[in-house]
Each structure stands twice: as C-alpha cells, then as structure tokens.
Amino acid sequence: MRSKKTKFIFVTGGVVSSLGKGLASASIGALLENRGLDITLIKLDPYINVDPGTMSPFQHGEVFVTEDGGETDMDLGHYERFTHARMSRLNNFTSGRIYNAVITKERRGEYLGKTVQVIPHITDEIKASIRQAAQDVDVVIVEVGGTVGDIESLPFLEAIRQMRYDVGSQNAVYIHLTLLPYIGAAGEVKTKPTQHSVMKLREIGIQPDFLLCRTDREISRELKDKIAMFCNVDNGNVFTSPDVRSIYELPLELHRQGLDERLAEVLNIWSRAPHLEKWETIVRKIYEPARGEVTVAIVGKYVNLTESYKSLNESLLHGGIANDVRVKLRFVDSQDVEAQGPEKTLAGVDAVLVPGGFGVRGTEGKIAAVRYARENKLPFFGICLGLQMAVVEFSRTVLGLKGANSLEFDEHTAHPVVTLMESQVKVQDKGGTMRLGSYACALKPGSVAHKLYGQESIQERHRHRYEVNNAYRGRLQEAGLVISGHNPELNLVEMIELTDHPYFVGCQFHPEFKSKPFAPHPLFSGFIGAALAQRDATRGQAPVHS
C-alpha cells in the first residue's frame, strides 16, 4: 500500500525519434521537485534486449549504471542529473525484461493453465512494474520510448491507457511530445505531423491532455489554438519545447510557459511555487562564465557519437560550472593518436581525459595520450579503462616492463599488469555479469583524491571486468605510482595518482554517473580546476616531446 496518493504523468512521443522525451521528462521532474513534491521517473523501452548492457554504444548511446548495479537507458542519467531522485533497476523496463518475467512465471505454473496473452498478462506485468517503482512518491513520470505507431511499443501504450482507469482520471495525465517542422519553401510552420501523430495515439485509445511541441522558433497563440482545436486538447495545454543553447535551460523555459503550474492544476496537486534560483545560476555560469574557457581532449574510440559519452560530457560541463569556466571538448579518436602522434592530435589542449571503453581497437593511442600527458605535466584524468591504460603506460615506460598490457587486449603478455577479476574467469554470459553498481573505496589520507572528496571513505559506481593486477602493486608503488584509493573488502585498486605531477588521477569507477549541475562531482571539479591552472600557467609554451 502506498502512503501517498500517487499521481502519474505519462510521456509519449510522435512523428520522429530523438525529439527529447527524456529531457522533457527530466525537466518536468525538476520543476515538480522544486515545487516541494517527491518524484520519481520510469523509462519503458520497447526493444527486446533485457537491458542495454550488450548493445553497441554506436547504436544505443551510453549505458547508464544505477547504484544497485542496473545497466539502464541513458535517459536515467538525465533523470538523476536534473533531480534528486535516485534511480535503480526498477526505473527502466524493456520489452525483453517484461516478456522474460512473464515467461518465467508461465514456466513456474503461476498462470494456472491459462493461455498467456499480451492482454492481460503482458500489460498487467507492465502496470505492476510501474506500481513497484511508484512507492511513496507524489508524482511518477513515465516515459515511453520509441514513437507512436511503432509495433514494438503497443503493449506499453495499452498498459498506460489502462492505468488511467485503474488510478482515476484526476490521477493520470498524458503528455504527447511531437514535432512542428518549419518548411522553408512555404515559409511557415506545419501542424499536420502533430495532427497525424495525435490521431494515431487516439486510435490506440489515448487522448493526450497536453501537447509539447518541439520547434526551433516561437509559436504564435493563434497556431497553438489551431493545434488545440484539431487535436482536441484544451487551449491552455499546448506548450512548446524550443531549441535551447543548454539543456539546463529547458526547466526554466517550461516554467516560463507555465507547464508545471498547469500540471499541478490538472492533477489537483497542492504545491508551493518552485524555487528555481539554482537553475538560473547554472544557466548563467554556462552562458556567461567569469573565467573564460579551457579545452579538454577526450581520447576515446566512440568520439564520433557523443551520445556514447553523455554522462561524461555533462560531468565535464558540471566541472566548468564549479569553476565558473566554459569547458570546450575536443573529441580525439585514439586511432588518430596512433597514426599521427599525440604531439599533433593533442596540441593546444589544457587537459587530457581517457574514458572507459571495451575492445582492443585504439588502445595504443590511449596509452600514447597518457604518456604525453604524464611527461608534459598536462592535467590527466583516466576513468575505468583510462586508469588501466595509465597503469600499462607507467609499467612499460617507468618500470621498464616490455610488452606490459591488459589481459583483455593481449592474452599472452609477459606482464599482465591489468588482469581479469577472479570472479569473472568462468563467466560466459555477457549481460549483467560485470562488476556493477556501487562499491566502497577507502582513500589514502593526504592524497589528491582525499583532498577533493574531503572524506576518507566513498561509494562509487562500477562497470568493468578487469582490474589492476595485485601482483604488480608493490613494484608500481615503489616506482612512484600512488594507490590513493582501494576497495577494502575485495582489496582492489580503485584510484591512482602521481605526486610529481600537477594533476594525474585515475579511477576504476565511473564518477560521471553521480555528477549533477547543482552538485558537480569533486573529481571533475578538481580536473577542470587543474585545466584552468594549466591554461593560466603555460598557455603558449611549447610542450616537451616524448
């Protein structure tokens, strides 16, 4: 039993994908939270994969990891960055996960000989999953992935259609995000795609209460009234989701139009006026930073699709907010570093970051980037694989261990300084079997990491199979590599740094999953602070060539 009368906001999308349902949902969550309401968000994904963990970043974008080790859709990252809501594996359901649950129940005989069907069994499982994640909150925002009209999303749409009857019409509203394209040859904005999208939604049995129209320009009151009339929506319930320079401006824009006020009215929610001062400060620091600009090179293998590093990119922006400086990201393909050398590909940057990733392609370029940053005293930050590449580079160059490598990339290396976790040796299934979720990390007193966090024990999220080989730990430390963080339970390396360097930090975990614009992660704040110091101290000086 819920102790609160929970309200439900269902967000669907039409016409085309990538309109920004996730950001719209997150922005609505931010506005309602700032009105004093307890909120949570759920993403329903129509694909058959049980989770996105085994999907290519090129196709799906980033895999966001929750505190409890769920591998989830990247929109959950937006939800956490925009609100204080803590996501878990209960906040993301795919068709694969729903069907898997139903089939498992059928195999156990839980349906008592009945014919198992999409309605009611699949839709009931979807509704049960929504209710499970909706415990003890005032408002649940449920985003349905895909586009109305896709055959894959029909069970989800039918489930949310039924929920209005289950919870009562005053406790559920439907928001439909659609497209208003501007046709240059005609010189006008066209409403027909929106009309057809709503028509398709109504055929399914859902009449949207609100329309959120994606557009690149201001829309007149007359055009909104036309849309309202043809789509059978109240005049005051047509809003726009305009193009904004920063995604963090969207909550302010939607509030300016009165969307949160109207939602509270329709759902009969008593709430205070929102406190949006922190969002105004964030936007000011993004648009008008007091301390200029720094350039950070991200050396990776997915750089042609920035969605693959969404949380990372946003966390660097948060680090800029913390230092009141604009962060310019230069995406560098690690294969280009291999082919052209770091002197050319990294020239003129103020700091170097090597992010996580899987597979051998481009790893030698990452190692070369690490060496360039270490020898030229350029601020360096290595995350997950980036830490491992830093250990490999240090082992080869400083310890003189020829051919040192990770077992992930060279099974026959004479010096496996990065090795497969013992618990992973016999694992054959790829999905959901890595070291996932939150683990403890004890920080070395007096280290850079300890100073940045301001505490000796932290919790951070992981997603990896390989670890620094403990057999080499002593030799690495004797040569000057500081193990500044370790997991006390598993005795595994969590953080490294160098003392004879302005800023050289690596972490085995993914701090980008816990950073917010109004609470930047200390490792990103410190990294951008170091880049700023580097810019001020050395801009214009020629680097040392390794």
Tens digits of residue pLDDT in 152-178: 999 999 999 999 999 999 999 999 999
Examine the pLDDT at 30 and tell me if it is beyond 50: yes
Cβ-proximal residues to 277 (8 Å cutoff; 6+ apart), any chain: none
Examine the pLDDT at 11 and tell me if it is beyond 80: yes
Tell me how crowded residue 305 is: count the other CB atoms within 10 A of its CB: 16
pLDDT for residue 58: 55
In tens, the pLDDT along 63-117 reads 899 999 999 989 999 999 999 999 999 999 999 999 999 999 999 999 888 999 9
For residues 458-479, give the mean pLDDT.
Answer: 94
| Best CA proximity match to 207, nearest among 172, 163, 174 | 174
pLDDT for residue 432: 44
CA-derived radius of gyration, the chain = 25
Instruction: Give the Cα separation of 123 and 106 in Å (integer).
Output: 15
For residues 230-239, give the mean pLDDT.
Answer: 95
Examine the pLDDT at 427 and tell me if it is beyond 50: no
For residues 404-412, give the mean pLDDT.
Answer: 93
For residues 320-342, give the mean pLDDT.
Answer: 95
**Binding residue per annotation — 18?**
yes
The pair of structure tokens assigned to 16 is 């085309």
Tell me if residue 265 is catalytic.
no
Residues 385/396, Cβ–Cβ less than 8 Å: no
For residues 489-502, give the mean pLDDT.
Answer: 95
Q: Per-residue confidence at 62, pLDDT binned at 50, 70, 90?
A: confident
Examine the pLDDT at 423 and tell me if it is beyond 90: no
CA 340 to chain CA mean position, Å? 31
- On the 0-12 / 13-18 / 19+ scale of CB atoms within 10 A, 17 is exposed
**Binding residue per annotation — 385?**
yes
Beta-strand runs (E) in 157-279: 172-179, 182-183, 188-189, 210-215, 238-242
Q: Per-residue confidence at 377, pLDDT binned at 50, 70, 90?
A: very high
Please identify which residue in the block is written with the tokens 């928001």.
175
pLDDT for residue 271: 84
* Mean pLDDT score across all residues of the chain: 91
When mean pLDDT is compared across 171-180, 327-336, 464-473, 531-540, the lowest value belongs to 531-540
**Binding residue per annotation — 191?**
yes
Q: Does domain 7-282 have CATH number 3.40.50.300?
A: yes
Distances in Å between the Cα of 64 and the Cα atoms of 91, 99, 385, 479 are 12, 22, 16, 36
Residues 528/327, Cβ–Cβ less than 8 Å: yes
Residues 148/200, Cβ–Cβ less than 8 Å: yes
Instruction: Give the Cα separation of 527 and 34 in Å (integer).
Output: 30
In tens, the pLDDT along 249-307 reads 999 999 999 999 999 999 999 888 888 999 999 999 999 999 999 999 999 876 555 66
**Binding residue per annotation — 193?**
yes
Q: Is 330 helix (H, G, I), strand (E, B) or coil?
A: strand
**Binding residue per annotation — 386?**
yes
The pair of structure tokens assigned to 202 is 């109504």
Domains 7-282 and 290-418+468-484+493-539 share a fold: yes
Q: Of these residues, 231, 494, 512, 521, which one is catalytic?
A: 512
Instruction: Give the Cα separation of 230 and 537 in Å (integer).
Output: 61
Q: Of these residues, 158, 176, 213, 384, which one is catalytic?
A: 384
Query: Would you state the CATH architecture of domain 290-418+468-484+493-539?
Result: 3-Layer(aba) Sandwich (3.40)
Quote the percentage of the chain above a pLDDT of 70: 92
Tell me if residue 80 is catalytic.
no
Instruction: Give the Cα separation of 259 and 103 in Å (integer).
Output: 41
Element housing 72 (H / E): strand 71-72
pLDDT for residue 272: 84
Examine the pLDDT at 431 and tell me if it is beyond 60: no
Tell me if residue 512 is catalytic.
yes
Burial 421-437 (b: 16+ CB within 10 A, else e): eeeeeeeeeeeeebbbb
For residues 300-323, give the mean pLDDT.
Answer: 84
- On the 0-12 / 13-18 / 19+ scale of CB atoms within 10 A, 442 is middle
pLDDT for residue 15: 86
pTM: 0.91
Q: What are the domain boundaries of the chain? A: 7-282, 290-418+468-484+493-539
**Binding residue per annotation — 73?**
no
**Binding residue per annotation — 96?**
no
pLDDT for residue 9: 98
Residue at 526: amino acid letter? G
Quote the percentage of the chain above a pLDDT of 90: 80
pLDDT for residue 307: 67
